Structure 1
């Protein structure tokens, strides 16, 4: 594997390597001062050339067969994804003594940089790191940072996969953010999208067949197994190496990997995880690889399979949310019973190959009995579960504090790896809406129509979702940090901190599944999760329920104030410890 795009050689020269098979000519056009660097093709379709070292900030284009485009491997797009590429020299994050965070110790916090702070930048987010450290977070997951069209986007429409989105800051800002997180004991994981390119600003097709026709929600898939796939595979493997080694991220969350299609002898996902492990071993640190697969396939985390450390498991979210809210549409079509909640907490996968999936229309999933708790990342809210709702509403403002806190207690008491969605820890009420900043009007109109049709299909015909293109939609999604001044929000935050501290100590929800005993009473809808040190009691009933703790257990915390009659309040959670 060799560098792609602009890079510096061992003797200090600037070099370019561009994959463009079947093309007749390719040159680098320097913007200021004007200049041209002709490139020469080799037998495998790569074009090469070098020149005296170009200073950082140099703008350039690639001219292929007489047409000018940004570099597909550009490291920075200061004028947007349609503008010239820029030479940058990023320095890897350096944290002496840092060895990373093991999956068994991960408390994940998912955040979107653009809405996490009023400024929406890396520098501003860095100031919140002490707060996240005090909360007990051990790993921050950043939604995608690869350059996308316009200023605002969730990040899943990235088109320049090596380029830090300019609105978020500089590589110096990113380096400082990662190093500061390490200083507070937190790893930083990057969300990457290797299943498609965004719909605007993707110029890879001008160089090589980077995509192929396939049935995905976004159109074309990545060409990992068709003609000239060798250059495409190398592009993505080099992208993996770049973010982990040259920049210094502590791992990846890989988006929708079930929609990465590959029939080559070694699957590209296995190549990615193997490369990440080699980097971690060489540098003496943990490099975590998490897959969003969402097909409940134990093969994803097995050594004989793709070799991920963990995979997102939405079943606990779906089971708990559907039971507490009564919603059984969209993602929740397969859920709604109390038995689903019990099975999710005990087995991990509710859809384990024995139940017909109402969404995908087949028997989905595998038995998770052979997996450990740390192979499952669970949550009660995430960017998809919130953002793909009509109003982008969070659980707490819509369904109340009791149900929201019962839900997070179930997540943290489970034998799985918990993930929080930014703001939930203090009771954020602002929505997280879908937003974009495309410049192509037909695309903007198409997104608006698509969102409206999607929700009409879900039963909200005639109801207008917030305009994805309006800046006000983006602004409405920003966290309201002033809420932390309110006593109620401080109380929620204190409860989260206490639960997380218990999780980190191993008293609550240890990640070895045989250390958490799950019992459920369908008559009362009360579930207990017992460990060596704690007993968690969850009331999923809308009615008060009698519950007498076994002898020797003392109250530790409660999500709902204790009743005078001693009954377990509706939708209450208790955590008790041995006396």
Structure 2
């Protein structure tokens, strides 16, 4: 056994009922099911609702310690893993291994959780965050996040996928923690270590599709339905059998929050959840999460990644919404990226419009019913500033998607210089939304974050690589620099270089991020969530923008020319670049200043 894959600290003895539940499975499709558990063959009996369960009593040796198990469907001799497996020690095609999360010795009894409002999120990919790429090695860098001022650590997906390394969005065993990261025990250790340092944990989960290799769910029941999204067959949320499919998803969400003490979930691409039922899955999930939060006595947060620009996701149920805590706003990234780089290709084209960034800061979305040239139609809906708070929108200057969507996985830090990275940090951290920092951004790392896979099947690897080239070609982007996702060097190149933060300009940028996050935490106006308390002036041709939050002015010069602003100053809270305060504020090239105005 890999040293990172030890079992729980103390394995309790299973009762017959617990053992019977472990070896139960929902499976409308087969006519016969046999469970293989340790050295035993156990025939299962079909009960009402298409659940198959063993008849008690079960062998006593299965009540002690962990064991491997699987299911045989009908007369097929191939053992299949448990759809709700918590461990796949030998990969997603092999037998499951029992794991009881209750055996872990938690040390976070004093942890009371953290609300999203006022917080700062740090997104990381476990395989590339540390040299070893494991949960336990990631713990070694948590103090760095504490010193930075982070509130939430957001992990890209950790559920089991085929291969050794992957972005995580090819997962097929939603309940199992990827073994190359350390498995479920190491996951619990990581969450526990975060909580002991005052860090909350958000887990990125994928409920809109399953990976291309190792997905055995359709053998058991109607988990999938007709139709396809960008990533494959649709999840059955509204057809026959969908009650249990939805329960499978909701139980998975509650497992992370309850059994693994996670504080929130980032819901991947909810726009790909095709759900025609009266009560949407997202509404149901929000209700169950709020119920569990009340039971546990700590905040639990749901954040949706959505391409819809629909504020209904974060609108309260009483006002006709789904009641999620937050959602990503890519519009902020797009408008800021165009302002910093001048790149208006592909889906960035609309954000070159005059005042695009100012509109996003004032109203949350750029596309709020406006025409989207990339989509060839109008898109989005306005946010009701009276019922929606700024912190409900999660924004960034870079994240895994935006970096991976660039041909060579280039970060913003390799497209602009350090002088330009500072105003990007100022606006992201001190803007009216919840800021999210992508690993290494805080010191302007030069390492890329390229799209990588390790599919053992050569044909699948070839299809994925060709698909990437086709995607970029449709955008009219240069495909000559697109790396092969299957090349192990693509993965290795994407690992953070932890010697950078102590060097020269990297260290200076890191110090600025720490100052900005501390400023955000200590100046009440910088976490005021009300859109009504925000005003923005800008001149895109001249290159400047002023964001006012109460008596605080955040001033940015996006140009390489000096600009003068008629902004009075009582005290200076932060400066970067050449800044003067005679008769207003003068900003040199790419300079930024944060001041308090006199009352």
TM > 0.5: yes
The alpha-carbon distance between structure 1 residues 293 and 267, as it changes in their structure 2 partners (threshold 3 A), is same
SS of residue paired to 2:538: strand
Alignment partners' CA distance in 1, 2:410 and 2:232: 28
CA deviation string 1:541-576 (max 9, x = no partner): 3321112431x4233322224479973122221112
Trace 1:315-464 onto structure 2 (pairs within 5 A).
315-353=331-369, 355-370=370-385, 371-460=388-477, 463-464=480-481
Of the three residues 69, 84, 87, the one matched with 2:98 is 87
Alignment partners' CA distance in 2, 1:87 and 1:9: 14
The alpha-carbon distance between structure 1 residues 56 and 189, as it changes in their structure 2 partners (threshold 3 A), is farther
1:135 corresponding residue in structure 2: 148
Trace 1:103-142 onto structure 2 (pairs within 5 A).
103-142=116-155
Alignment partners' CA distance in 1, 2:295 and 2:270: 26
Alignment partners' CA distance in 1, 2:174 and 2:512: 39
2:30 corresponding residue in structure 1: 23
2:112 corresponding residue in structure 1: 99
Alignment partners' CA distance in 2, 1:167 and 1:129: 20
Trace 1:164-313 onto structure 2 (pairs within 5 A).
164-303=177-316, 304-313=320-329
SS of residue paired to 2:565: coil
2:517 corresponding residue in structure 1: 500
Shift of 1:106: 1.6
SS of residue paired to 2:24: strand
Alignment partners' CA distance in 1, 2:359 and 2:538: 10
Shift of 1:10: 7.6
SS of residue paired to 1:356: strand
The alpha-carbon distance between structure 1 residues 341 and 460, as it changes in their structure 2 partners (threshold 3 A), is closer
Trace 1:548-567 onto structure 2 (pairs within 5 A).
548-550=566-568, 552-562=569-579, 567=586
Gapped regions of structure 1 (runs ≥ 5)? 1-6
Contact 1:291/1:311 (<8 A) preserved: yes
Contact 2:176/2:183 (<8 A) preserved: no
1:74 corresponding residue in structure 2: 85
The alpha-carbon distance between structure 1 residues 10 and 257, as it changes in their structure 2 partners (threshold 3 A), is farther
The alpha-carbon distance between structure 1 residues 496 and 212, as it changes in their structure 2 partners (threshold 3 A), is same
Shift of 1:313: 0.4
CA deviation string 1:114-165 (max 9, x = no partner): 0000000111111111110110000011000100010100000000000000
CA deviation string 1:462-504 (max 9, x = no partner): 6141110011100000001100221211110110011111112
Shift of 1:514: 2.5
Shift of 1:358: 2.1
Q: Which is worse superposed, 448-457 or 269-278?
A: 448-457
SS of residue paired to 1:289: strand
SS of residue paired to 2:232: coil
Gapped regions of structure 2 (runs ≥ 5)? 1-12
Contact 2:557/2:590 (<8 A) preserved: yes
Alignment partners' CA distance in 2, 1:461 and 1:555: 44
Alignment partners' CA distance in 2, 1:321 and 1:460: 16
Contact 1:55/1:87 (<8 A) preserved: no
Please state if 1:526 is matched with 2:544. Answer: yes
CA deviation string 1:417-459 (max 9, x = no partner): 1000000001111000000011112111101111122222333
Contact 2:86/2:184 (<8 A) preserved: no
Contact 1:110/1:419 (<8 A) preserved: yes
Alignment partners' CA distance in 2, 1:300 and 1:94: 35
Please state if 1:65 is matched with 2:74. Answer: yes
Q: Which is worse superposed, 14-23 or 509-518?
A: 509-518
Shift of 1:507: 4.1
Tell me which stretches of 4 or more aligned residues in structure 1 moved more than 6 Å: 563-566
Alignment partners' CA distance in 2, 1:170 and 1:262: 32
Shift of 1:23: 1.6
Shift of 1:509: 4.8
Alignment partners' CA distance in 1, 2:239 and 2:197: 45
Please state if 1:483 is matched with 2:490. Answer: no
Alignment partners' CA distance in 2, 1:520 and 1:308: 32
Q: Tell me the matched-pair count.
A: 569
CA deviation string 1:366-420 (max 9, x = no partner): 1113321011001100000011211111112221122222122111221111000
Contact 1:111/1:421 (<8 A) preserved: yes
Backbone CA RMSD of aligned residues: 2.0
Shift of 1:265: 2.5
Contact 1:28/1:36 (<8 A) preserved: yes
Q: Which is worse superposed, 235-244 or 51-60?
A: 51-60
